[in-house]
Amino acid sequence: MMKCPAVCLVALALLGSLCDAQWQNYKPSPPKPPRQEIKKPVENPQIKQTFEKPLTWTYPEDPQPPEKVEVPFELRFPVPAATVAVECRESEAHVEVKKDMFGIGQFINPADLTLGTCSAVAEDNVAHVLIYESALQACGSTLVLTEESLVYTFTLNYNPQPVGSSPVVRTSKAAVIVECHYPRKHNVSSLPLNPVWVPFSAVKVSEEFLYFTMKLMTDDWLYERPSYQYFLGDLINIEVIVQQYFHVPLRVYVDHCVATLSSDPASSPRYAFIENNGCLVDARITGSSSRFQARTAENKLCFQLEAFRFQGADSGLLYLTCHLKATSSSNSIDSSHRACSYIAGWKEASGIDTACASCETGDFGASNSGVVSGTSSNPGRKIRDVSKAQAESTSYENQLSKVFDIILFTYYSIFNTFQSKCHSANPIWTSCFLLLDNLTLLYYNILFPSLSCRVGR
């Protein structure tokens, strides 16, 4: 323990002798002159660098897919094609199929199409048609009985096969049902019961009965016009027909026509635009385009009337009343039977213009019963009135026609009833028809003694 303090004392003695030796050798240096500080110029604080023009460069955007453009597109759906036809014969079905079965312009392979289990029996290379024929009980047909019919059903099967080594096909499988309907109930003995002669009573009635029609037609003269509305300047197409029935060939005429504001042809105002036995005087009086058309059939006559109205009349409704008559077509066209139009002179619808010579001598408008205005430059139209006796005669004929039509309908009903009864009595059917004919003739002579006036109307 004594060694440690001894070592410390020796170390302190050596340190003191070293400090003395350095103090003796020390000489103070002369003082240095004061140091002058050099002032540096004050610099401006740092300024952020700017650009004379703004930068236009930017980071590129992410690529975007192009916008979809609206394309005028409409999906076309397959339309059923009328390419299969069937004819149901007495004991077989005859089926014809177009090679372009789907109507897409692509022919099918005949081997891919069968009628049930039967292949085509013939092929029309000109019309591109496959022909199938089968007995009603063959080719896998089925029979269904209904209350009224026997129905034989066939199935037209189409099963497309790949062409060559390609595994693809261009059409789909299809099946078409073909049916033949035959009535279950059929009167096989009715034909021998019908007499081969026409009963005298039926001939007499048919000769006395003339059925006239007068219709408004479309511009092409093909259909009856569904609308009765016209505008001034329009042409009214009118078609007149007489039904022939058992008559000899007939030729129809329009004897005279009158326009009124009411259904009474004798009312006022009134305008007779056809008069003097078939002279269409409207074009002659007013310069309109009214005219008869050239005949295309003897029992039909067409004419055009330019639309007009009565001056001062508030109603836009007009009634056209015409007197029609028919004669045998073998009769010649003359001054009493004609259809004349004024077209830079009088012209007849059948080309017999000489029959119209007396049209110009007629008195166009003996009395002024109304004033008509239209597209013509003539402010008024003279008309011809009919006498009171003519009006009463027309009224009587109209009433007689209505009574005749009702009784004629009743006659035919009774005739059909007796006819069916006579058919059921097979042994005496001839006597039954003779009795019916005599009773009908007696009935006709008693109830229709005055209807002879209808002949030739």
Residues 334, 220 share a domain: yes
Q: Is residue 331 part of a domain?
A: yes
Residue 102: domain span = 84-163+170-183
Q: What is the domain count for the chain? A: 2
Q: What's the pLDDT band for 363 if we cut at 50, 70, 90?
A: low
Residues 176 and 233 in one domain: no
176 and 220 share a domain? no
Residue 416: inside a domain: no
Res 223: pLDDT: 92
pLDDT band at 453 (very low <50, low <70, confident <90, very high): very low
Position 438 in a domain: no
Answering whether pTM is above 0.85, one says: no
Residues 159 and 248 reside in one and the same domain = no
pLDDT (tens digit per residue) in 10-25: 666 666 665 555 555 5
For the ranges 90-104, 220-234, 287-301, 378-392, the lowest mean pLDDT is seen at: 378-392
Which CATH number do you get for residue 234?
2.60.40.4100
For residues 349 and 247, state if they share a domain.
yes
- Does 348 lie in the same domain as 295? yes
pLDDT at 393: 43
Cβ atoms of residues 456 and 327 within 8 Å:
yes
Q: Does 246 fall in a domain?
A: yes
Same domain, 175 and 223: no
Q: Does residue 221 have a pLDDT over 90?
A: yes
Residues 262 and 340 in one domain: yes
Same domain, 147 and 266: no
- Domain final residue pick, 322, 356, 390: 356
